[in-house]
C-alpha cells in the first residue's frame, strides 16, 4: 500500500460512505474538523464511517469514546490512527494457526 | 402517585443500598441518588405552577437523574432541549415557564450540577428533604424536538404517562430488580428518558452512567445480562465486531425506526441476538412491540394497556394511558396500518410527508420551506429517497436560485436545520418540473439529480468506445463505422419498462443509441426525416455489450443503414433517411 495516498483514500471513503454528493474529495481539508464544523457530520455519520474504515482497513475503533472522538477529528487524525493500528497488527503475530 | 411522590414511584423497588448507576464514573446507590438530588434541589427556588427546570446534561446519566429528581422533588417539571447547540438551548431558556437551568457545560449561567456534586456534603445536617406531591396528570417533563424549521416543538409528558409506560415496559420485559441497562442513546429525548433513566429506576435496576456509541466502546461498558437500549443506526455498526463480542448482552431493545432486515440478520447470525423492537411516537408513547425472528414476521403486538384499531382510511388509532392526555381518544395517528386476525398490526407507512432519518421525524415540507426562504431562492423541492446506510432515508433538494452557490445554500441550511434534516445534496436547476397545478413531478425531479424513480443512480447516456477499428465495408463504394458501448445496469431509459424484465424500448434504441452514433459519424448530417424497414429482433438487456454498425454509400450520407448487435445476436436494424445538412448558419438551430 502506498502510504502517501492514505489521506486521499480516506477522503474518497468519506464522500462515498456518507454520500456527500456535493463534496469533492479533493476539497476536504486534511486537518479540518469533520464533525460539527467542517463537513457538519453527526454521530450516525461517525458510526457509518467507523464501519467503512473497519471494512476497508481492518481497523476497529477503540474502547474509549474520548479517544475515538480524537481519532475521528479530521482526515489527518484518522490516517494517523489507521497507520498506528496497522503497524500494531503487523507487529503482532496473527492468531491464525502456525504454518506446518 | 397522587398521595405519593414521584421519587417513591421511581425508587420503590430499590433498597437504599441498591445500585441505580454504574460505569467508569463509579457506582451510585438509591441512597446516593436521593441525597444528591436533595443537595441540588436546595439550589432551586420554590416553583410557580407549571415552572420548568431546563436540563442540559451531556455527559453523566447519573448527574442527569440527580438533576431531574431534584427538579421533581421541588415540584418542577424538567425541560429537555433537543441538542446542546447554543441557539437551541437559548430558545428553550427564553420560554416563560423556563425558570432555572441545571447543566454540566462550561456555560457561566445556571447551576453547574457536577460542581455541586463534587463539593463535600455539609456535615452539620442532613440535606433538606423536599417531596413535592406529583399528581399523575401533572406534567413532569417537556421534551423539545428540533422542528425542521428551527422552531422547537414542545412535547409535555405527565407523570402518569411516563411512569405508566415504564411500568408497562417492566412488565413486557419481565424485568427483575437488579436489571442493568446499557444505553447507546442519551437521556434528553423521550425515548432516552424513558428507557435509559425511568425504566431502570422503576424496575429496580440500574443504568450505565456513560453513553457509549462506537461498537468497541459499547462492548467495553457491557455487564453480564445487560439490557442494551439502542436504535437501528447504532446496531448496524455492530457488524464491525467479532462474533461473540456481544456475549454479555442479555437483550436488545431498539426503537425510533424499523430495524432493517439486513441488520436483524447480521445480529442474529453474528451475535445470536434478536432485538425487541418498539413502535411508538412522541404523541402516543409506546404502541406495540415485535421481536422478528425472521423477515416475514413483520406484525407488531400492542403493548400492555394499549388498544389499537384502524379507521376506514387505513389510519392507525391508538388509545392508551401513554397517549398525550390533551389529545382526543382514540388518537388518530399519521401511521397507516392493517390489523391481522390476531389483533396485531402491520405498519404500512405514513399518511403525511414525514420521513424518518436515523430515527428522527423530518417534515419534507418544512425543509422545503426553509430552503425556499433562503435569500435568492425562487423555488425549491425536497425529495426523500431510500438510503442503504444507517440513516435509512436521504434528503435531496432541488432549487431555482440564479446566482446562488449550491454549497453556500447547503451551508445556510446546516446553520438552521438539525443535522439529520439537512439535504445531502442541493442541486440548482433552471426550473422545477411541476404539473400545471404546481405538484412536483417526482420522476423528472429525480432525473434532474441523475437518479431513477427508485432513487438509484442512473446513466443517461452510453459511454461510446471511440477507438474501435471498423471492419471492412461491404463494398468499395461503401462507408462503415462501428461504435461499441456497454449498457450499464442503471441505464435510465429502462425505467418504466417491465421492472422485472428490462427491455430497451425501440424509441430509445433509435433516439439514444443509434442517432448519437450517426451524429458522431456524420457531424454534418441534418435531422431525421424518415425511418424504413426498422426491425426489433432481440432484447437489449442491462449489462449487454452492444455494437452499432452504420453503413452508407460514399457520397450518399443522407441514407444510413444501422444494425445493433449484442455479441452474435442481432437486436435491431433499419434504415434512416436524414434531411440534407442545413446551411451552416442554421445548423445549430435544427440539430436536435
pLDDT average, residue stretch B314-335:
91
Residue B115 predicted with pLDDT over 80: yes
For the ranges B283-297, B362-376, B574-588, the maximum mean pLDDT occurs at B362-376
User: Over the stretch B213-268, which tens digit does the pLDDT of each residue have?
Assistant: 899 999 999 999 999 999 988 998 999 899 999 999 999 999 988 788 889 999 99
CB < 8 Å to B412, chain A: none
CB < 8 Å to A18, chain B: 389, 424
Pick A19's closest partner by Cβ from B240, B241, B394: B394
- What is the number of other CB atoms lying within 10 angstroms of the CB of residue A66? 9
Residues in chain A: 100
pLDDT at site B4: 53
pLDDT at site B225: 95
pLDDT at site B592: 39
Residues 6+ apart with CB under 8 A from B372: B379, B380
Phi, psi (deg, nearest 5) at residue B585: -65, -35
User: Over the stretch B419-433, which tens digit does the pLDDT of each residue have?
Assistant: 778 898 899 999 888
| C-beta atoms of A61 and B216 within 8 A | yes
CATH of B354-448, one of 3.30.300.30, 3.40.50.720, 2.40.50.140, 3.40.50.11030: 3.30.300.30
Q: Rounded to whole angstroms, what are the CA distances from B270 to A19, B60, B236?
A: 27, 31, 12
Q: Is B187 left (phi over 0), alpha (psi -120 to 50) or beta?
A: alpha
pLDDT at site A25: 84
- CB crowding A70-88: b at 16 or more within 10 Å, else e: ebbbbbebbbebbeebbee
**B78: pLDDT confidence band, cut at 50, 70 and 90?**
very high
Q: Where are the domains of chain B?
A: 1-159, 354-448, 478-590
CATH fold of the domain at B478-590: Thiol Ester Dehydrase; Chain A (3.10.129)
Residue B141 predicted with pLDDT over 90: yes
Residue B272 predicted with pLDDT over 70: yes
Q: Does A92 touch chain B (CB under 8 A)?
A: no
Interface of A with B in 26-45 (CB under 8 A): 40-44
Closest CA–CA distance from residue B362 to any residue of chain A (Å): 16
Q: Does A96 touch chain B (CB under 8 A)?
A: no
Residue with cell 408513547: B285
pLDDT at site B96: 94
- CA-based nearest residue to B317, from B356, B288, B360, B353: B288
Domain spanning B1-159 has what CATH number?
3.40.50.12780
pLDDT average, residue stretch A48-70:
86
- CA-based nearest residue to B63, from B94, B26, B12: B26
Contact between B482 and B559 (Cβ < 8 Å): no
**B590: pLDDT confidence band, cut at 50, 70 and 90?**
very low
Residue B124 predicted with pLDDT over 80: no
**B526: pLDDT confidence band, cut at 50, 70 and 90?**
confident
pLDDT at site B437: 74
Domains recognised in chain A with CATH numbers: 3-87 (1.10.1200.10)
Q: Which residue has the higher pLDDT, B20 or A31?
A: B20
Residue A94 predicted with pLDDT over 70: no
**B351: pLDDT confidence band, cut at 50, 70 and 90?**
confident
Residue B70 predicted with pLDDT over 70: yes
Lowest pLDDT segment from B67-71, B272-276, B565-569, B587-591: B587-591
State the number of CA atoms in the 13 A half-sphere of B51 facing the CB.
Answer: 16
What 8-state DSSP symbol labels residue B511? I
**A1: pLDDT confidence band, cut at 50, 70 and 90?**
very low
pLDDT at site A100: 38
Residues 6+ apart with CB under 8 A from A57: A82, A85, A86
What 8-state DSSP symbol labels residue B544? -
pLDDT at site B575: 93
Give the mutation candidate from B183, B189, B240 for the A interface (greatest A CB count, under 10 A): B240
The chain-wide mean pLDDT, for chain B, equals 86
Q: ∠ at Cα B329 (B323, B334), nearest 5°? A: 70
User: Over the stretch B282-317, which tens digit does the pLDDT of each residue have?
Assistant: 889 999 999 876 666 679 999 999 999 999 888 999
pLDDT at site B495: 67
pLDDT average, residue stretch A47-72:
86
User: How far is B512 from B505, CA to CA, in rounded Å?
Assistant: 10
Residue B374 predicted with pLDDT over 80: yes
User: Over the stretch B174-194, which tens digit does the pLDDT of each residue have?
Assistant: 999 999 999 999 998 899 999
Amino acid at each position: 500500500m502506498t502510504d502517501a495516498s492514505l489521506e486521499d483514500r480516506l477522503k474518497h471513503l468519506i464522500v462515498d460512505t456518507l454520500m456527500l454528493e456535493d463534496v469533492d474529495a479533493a476539497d476536504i481539508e486534511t486537518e479540518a474538523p469533520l464533525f460539527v464544523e467542517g463537513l457538519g457530520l453527526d454521530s450516525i455519520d461517525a458510526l457509518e464511517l467507523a464501519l467503512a474504515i473497519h471494512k476497508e482497513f481492518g481497523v476497529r475503533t477503540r474502547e474509549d469514546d474520548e479517544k475515538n472522538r480524537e481519532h475521528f477529528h479530521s482526515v489527518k487524525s484518522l490516517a494517523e490512527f489507521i497507520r498506528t493500528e496497522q503497524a500494531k497488527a503487523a507487529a503482532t503475530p496473527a492468531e491464525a494457526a502456525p504454518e506446518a | 402517585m397522587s398521595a405519593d411522590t414521584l421519587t417513591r414511584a421511581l425508587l420503590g423497588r430499590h433498597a437504599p443500598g441498591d445500585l441505580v448507576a454504574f460505569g467508569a464514573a463509579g457506582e451510585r446507590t438509591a441512597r446516593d441518588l436521593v441525597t444528591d438530588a436533595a443537595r441540588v434541589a436546595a439550589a432551586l427556588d420554590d416553583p410557580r405552577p407549571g415552572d420548568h427546570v431546563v436540563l442540559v446534561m451531556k455527559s453523566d446519566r447519573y448527574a442527569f437523574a440527580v438533576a431531574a429528581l431534584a427538579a421533581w422533588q421541588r415540584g418542577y417539571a424538567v425541560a429537555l432541549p433537543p441538542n446542546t447547540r447554543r441557539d437551541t438551548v437559548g430558545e428553550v431558556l427564553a420560554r416563560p415557564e423556563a425558570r432555572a437551568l441545571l447543566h454540566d457545560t462550561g456555560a457561566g449561567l445556571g447551576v453547574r450540577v457536577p460542581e455541586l456534586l463534587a463539593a463535600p456534603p455539609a456535615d452539620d445536617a442532613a440535606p433538606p428533604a423536599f417531596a413535592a406531591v406529583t399528581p399523575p396528570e401533572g406534567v413532569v417533563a417537556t421534551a423539545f424536538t428540533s422542528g425542521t424549521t428551527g422552531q422547537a416543538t414542545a412535547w409535555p409528558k405527565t407523570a402518569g404517562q411516563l411512569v405508566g409506560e415504564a411500568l408497562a415496559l417492566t412488565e413486557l420485559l419481565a424485568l427483575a430488580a437488579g436489571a442493568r441497562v446499557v444505553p447507546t442513546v442519551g437521556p434528553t429525548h423521550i425515548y432516552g428518558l424513558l428507557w435509559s433513566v425511568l425504566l431502570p429506576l422503576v424496575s429496580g435496576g440500574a443504568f450505565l452512567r456513560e453513553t457509549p456509541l462506537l461498537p468497541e466502546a459499547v462492548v467495553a461498558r457491557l455487564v453480564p445480562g445487560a439490557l442494551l437500549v439502542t436504535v437501528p443506526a447504532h446496531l448496524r455498526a455492530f457488524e464491525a465486531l467479532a462474533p461473540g463480542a456481544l456475549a454479555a448482552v442479555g437483550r436488545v431493545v431498539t426503537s425510533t425506526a424499523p430495524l432493517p432486515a439486513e441488520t436483524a440478520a447480521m445480529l442474529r447470525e453474528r451475535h445470536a441476538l434478536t432485538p425487541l423492537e418498539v413502535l411508538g411516537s412522541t404523541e402516543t408513547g409506546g404502541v406495540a412491540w415485535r421481536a422478528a425472528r425472521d423477515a416475514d414476521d413483520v406484525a407488531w403486538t400492542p403493548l400492555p394497556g394499549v388498544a389499537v384499531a384502524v379507521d376506514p382510511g387505513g389510519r392507525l388509532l391508538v388509545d392508551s394511558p401513554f397517549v398525550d392526555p390533551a389529545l382526543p381518544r382514540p388518537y388518530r395517528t399519521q401511521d397507516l396500518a392493517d390489523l391481522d386476525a390476531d389483533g396485531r398490526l402491520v405498519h404500512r407507512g405514513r399518511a403525511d410527508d414525514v420521513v424518518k432519518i436515523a430515527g428522527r421525524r423530518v417534515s419534507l415540507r418544512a425543509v422545503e420551506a426553509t430552503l425556499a426562504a433562503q435569500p435568492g431562492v425562487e423555488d425549491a423541492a425536497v425529495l426523500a429517497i431510500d438510503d442503504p446506510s444507517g440513516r435509512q432515508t436521504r434528503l435531496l433538494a432541488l432549487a431555482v436560485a440564479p446566482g446562488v452557490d449550491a454549497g453556500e445554500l447547503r451551508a445556510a441550511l446546516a446553520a438552521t436545520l438539525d443535522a439529520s434534516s439537512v439535504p445531502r445534496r442541493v442541486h440548482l436547476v433552471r426550473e422545477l418540473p411541476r404539473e400545471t397545478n404546481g405538484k412536483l413531478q417526482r420522476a423528472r425531479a429525480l432525473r434532474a439529480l441523475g437518479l431513477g424513480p427508485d432513487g438509484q443512480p442512473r446513466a443517461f447516456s452510453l459511454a461510446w468506445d471511440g477507438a474501435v477499428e471498423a471492419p471492412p465495408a461491404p463494398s468499395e463504394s461503401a462507408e462503415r463505422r462501428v461504435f461499441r458501448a456497454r449498457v450499464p445496469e442503471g441505464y435510465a431509459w429502462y425505467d418504466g419498462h417491465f421492472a422485472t424484465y428490462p427491455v430497451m424500448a425501440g424509441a430509445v434504441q433509435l433516439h439514444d443509441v443509434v442517432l448519437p452514433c450517426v451524429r458522431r459519424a456524420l457531424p454534418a448530417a441534418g435531422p431525421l426525416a424518415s425511418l424504413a424497414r426498422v426491425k426489433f429482433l432481440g432484447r437489449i438487456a442491462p449489462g449487454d455489450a452492444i455494437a452499432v454498425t452504420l453503413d452508407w454509400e460514399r457520397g450518399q450520407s443522407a441514407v444510413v443503414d444501422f444494425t445493433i448487435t449484442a455479441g452474435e445476436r442481432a437486436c435491431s436494424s433499419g434504415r434512416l433517411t436524414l434531411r440534407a445538412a442545413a446551411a451552416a448558419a442554421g445548423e445549430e438551430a435544427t440539430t436536435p
